[in-house]
Amino acid sequence: MTAQIIDGKALAEELRQSFKSRVDTLTAQGQQPGLVVILVGEDAASQVYVKSKVNGCLAIGMHSEKITYDAAVDQETVLKKIAELNADPAIHGILVQLPLPKHFDEEKVLEAIAADKDVDGFHAENVGALAQGNPRFIPCTPYGVMKMFEKGGVDLNGKEAVVIGRSNIVGKPMALLLINAGATVTVCNSRTRDLKFHTSRADIVVAAVGKPKFVTGDMIKPGAVVIDVGINRLPDGKLCGDVDFADCLNVAGQITPVPGGVGPMTITMLLANTIEAAERKAGIR
Ligand code: GUN
């Protein structure tokens, strides 16, 4: 049996269309949702992501701007800019693209963003709220994955879920969301001793480990839902996920492709979080 493909590109487009009227309502009230993205350095992948984030906002009538700094900029300059943006009533969301250059204290920078403008959901206050089961801003990638479960009609309650990856950006918040949804959650990583033991028992596998084709068909339980968060560049220039898609396609029940899976959902949920921030400020939520 061939797995059903959960089309993230189509879902992202559907959601983005549905956001337009919310943006229009806010704009009519003088509260056009605004996102600032801060990029430090010249990392090629980050430049592509930041451009997509800004363009994603503009395409649905939001305000968005990119602020770029040379990799050698000192942290104080960036912290000063964040303080300015925290106080700017026209800005509802602030995002600092990660990774930051080595001389930065990432935690300090993320904590400097006002919690009510932290549309990445990385501030300790927002991480705590998610851990307590009362999320305010959900980190965009795992938030997108939850929307894909919803779209695919995947009931998480009581299911065995394995998350491969333990990053603050994806693995940890993903695990918290699955726990909050009633799944039994195991968090693995690239060094997990017998990964196959865990994945082959799982009804749901979320791969966010950053290793091309790391999850193969023999590791998957027939009929499982396989979500691929990975975006890896192969030597031939092609993109591939953390899942060996061709190998898992005839084992899984549902699967996400790369590209066109989780990727487009991440930016979509960033737009959702920024609109939500503006709605809260306007008293709509
Ligand atoms: N780098 C990779 N993914 C992300 C993300 O979701 N947010 C930020 N700020 N940086 C990232």
Q: What's the mean pLDDT in 270-283?
A: 98
Q: What's the mean pLDDT in 259-284?
A: 97
Residue 95: CB within 6 Å of ligand 1? yes
Q: Does the model's pTM come out above 0.95?
A: yes
To which CATH superfamily is domain 29-114 assigned? Answer: Leucine Dehydrogenase, chain A, domain 1 (3.40.50.10860)
Looking from the CA of residue 99, the nearest atom of ligand 1 is: 1
Q: 148: closest CA among 10, 252, 1?
A: 10
Q: pLDDT band at 280, cuts 50/70/90?
A: very high
The answer, yes or no, to whether residue 14 has pLDDT greater than 90, is: yes
Residue 274: CB within 6 Å of ligand 1? no
Give me the CATH code for the 140-263 domain, please: 3.40.50.720
Q: What's the mean pLDDT in 233-237?
A: 91
Domain ranges (residues) in the chain: 29-114, 140-263
Is 29-114's fold the same as 140-263's?
Answer: yes
Q: What is the pLDDT of residues 123-181, one digit of tens each?
A: 999 999 999 999 999 999 999 999 999 999 999 999 999 999 999 999 999 999 999 99
Residue 169: CB within 6 Å of ligand 1? yes
Looking from the CA of residue 98, the nearest atom of ligand 1 is: 10
Looking from the CA of residue 140, the nearest atom of ligand 1 is: 6
The verdict on whether 120 is a catalytic residue reads yes
Is residue 61 left, alpha or beta, with left meaning phi > 0 and alpha meaning psi from -120 to 50? left
Q: 212: closest CA among 188, 239, 251, 172?
A: 239
**By alpha-carbon position, which residue is closest to atom 8 of ligand 1?**
97
Are residues 206 and 163 in contact, defined by beta-carbon separation less than 8 angstroms? yes
101 secondary structure, DSSP code: P
Mean pLDDT score of the chain: 97
Provide the pLDDT for residue 285: 79
Provide the pLDDT for residue 135: 98
Kindly state the percentage of the chain with pLDDT values over 90: 99
Task: Please give the Cα distance from 98 to 112 (Å, whole number).
Answer: 15
Residue 273: CB within 6 Å of ligand 1? no
The answer, yes or no, to whether residue 1 has pLDDT greater than 90, is: no
Residue 141: CB within 6 Å of ligand 1? yes
Q: What is the pLDDT of residues 29-82, one digit of tens each?
A: 999 999 999 999 999 999 999 999 999 999 999 999 999 999 999 999 999 999
Bridge partner list, 159: none
Q: What is the pLDDT of residues 236-250, one digit of tens each?
A: 989 999 999 999 999
The verdict on whether 24 is a catalytic residue reads no
Are residues 218 and 245 in contact, defined by beta-carbon separation less than 8 angstroms? no
The verdict on whether 75 is a catalytic residue reads no
Q: pLDDT band at 211, cuts 50/70/90?
A: very high
